[in-house]
A = this chain, B = another copy of it.
Amino acid sequence: MRFGLDVMGGDFAPGATIEGAVSALDSIGDGNRIVLLGPEDVIRHELAERGVESDRFDISHQPQCIAMDEKPVKALAEKPDSGIAAGFRLLAKGGLDAFASAGNSGAMLAGAVTHLKCIPGVIRPCTCACVPQEEGDAYSVLLDVGTTPDAKPEVMVQFAVIGSLYAQYLLGHANPRVCLMNVGTEDGKGNLQCQTVFPLLKECPHINFTGNMEPREIFKNRADVMVTDGFVGNILLKEVETFYRLMQKRGISDPLFDRMNYEIYGGSPILGVNAPVILGHGISSPLAIRNMLLQTKRMCELGLTQALRKLFADYVSESES
C-alpha cells in the first residue's frame, strides 16, 4: 500500500513532517510505502540532514505549496502542483491508497469532496476526533468536529451511522452506543436541531441509539459515539484541547489528561468520501505526523472505506424500497 504525506503541510513543515515520516518507517509495514509529496530538493535536503537514504520513501515532486491561510478552492485551482492537489489527484486515480496532510484544512476538505466525491448515499462528509474515557483505556468518537457546522437532521443521522462504523472498526467497540450531545439528558431536550434529530436517531435501524448525553458525561464512558453538528463538535474539541494545554503548561501528568493529547491519534479522518483521508492538526509535531501515518495505515488495513461503501449501499437501497 502507498500512503501519501503532504510534506509542506503544517506550521512546522517540512521539518516536522519529514521527521514524523522517518519515525513511522519502522511501523509502516513491509511492502508498504510512504509517498512524500512536496518539492524534491526540500525533501532530499531534510532526509540527508537526518542521515536517511531517500530510497526508503517514494518522492512525488510537487514544487507548489498551499499556505495555511489561503482560500481553499482558489488555492487548489491555482496550485495543481501542490502536495494537497496532487495527493487527491493520485488518490482518486489509485496511485495512492490513502492521503494525509496537516496543512490547510479547508483545502483538504475541498480536495476530498471534489476529487474523491462522497460515497454514494452520503450527503455530507464529516471529521471525527477520539476522546479518552475515564476508567480503562477506551476512546469514544466525537463527530462532526468541524466539517459541517449547520448539519441538517438527516446529515446528523448519517454522522451517527458513520461514527458507529468508525467506533467498530478503529476503536474496537462492538455494537457501539450512540448518544446525541445535548444540554440535558431527558428526551425532547435541546435546541431545535436536537429536538428534530432525536426521533430520527431513535428510528434509525443502523445504530444502537441510547439517548441524549451532556458534556459532563464526555469522559464518563456514557457513549462510544457522540453525535453533534460541526459547530458544537468543534467547540467541544477545542475546549478539550484547551484543558490539555493548561495541564501541559502546569506539568500535570495524568492517565486521562495525557490521552487528550492530539498527537496520540495524530489527526482527524475525513469520513464519508471514497478513500481514506486524514487531516492533521496545524501544529502537528513529528510524533503527531508519525501517528497520523499509522492511523492512515490502520484505516486502510481495516477496510473502513469499503465498509462504509457497503453500509451506504444498503442504506440507499432501503430508502429506495
Contact = CB atoms under 8 A, between A and B. Distances in A.
Interface of A: 146, 149-150, 181, 183, 190-192, 194, 214-216, 218-219, 229-232, 234-236, 238-243, 245-246, 250, 252, 254, 256-257
A150 B191 contact: yes
Most buried by B among A231, A232, A250, A256: A231
B231 A190 contact: yes
Nearest to A186: B69
Contact of A242 (B219, B238, B252): B219
B219 A246 contact: yes
Given A149-B191, A190-B149, A191-B149, A216 B231 contact: no
B235 A235 contact: yes
B149 A234 contact: no
Contacts of A257: 246
A146 B107 CA distance: 35
B235 A246 contact: no
Contacts of A243: 243
Question: What number of copies of this chain does the assembly contain?
Answer: 2
A238 B242 CA distance: 14
B149 A235 contact: no
Nearest to A238: B215
16 contacts: A146-B183, A149-B183, A149-B190, A150-B191, A150-B192, A183-B230, A183-B238, A214-B238, A216-B241, A218-B242, A219-B242, A232-B235, A235-B236, A236-B239, A246-B257, A252-B252
A232 B233 CA distance: 10
Contacts of A238: 183, 214-216
Contacts of A219: 242, 246
Contacts of A245: 216
B256 A235 contact: no
Contacts of A235: 181, 183, 215, 232, 235-236
A242 B256 CA distance: 13
Nearest to A134: B246
A242 B222 CA distance: 14
Contact of A239 (B234, B239, B252, B254): B239
B239 A218 contact: yes
A239 B215 contact: yes
A242 B254 contact: no
Nearest to A249: B134
Contacts of A150: 191-192
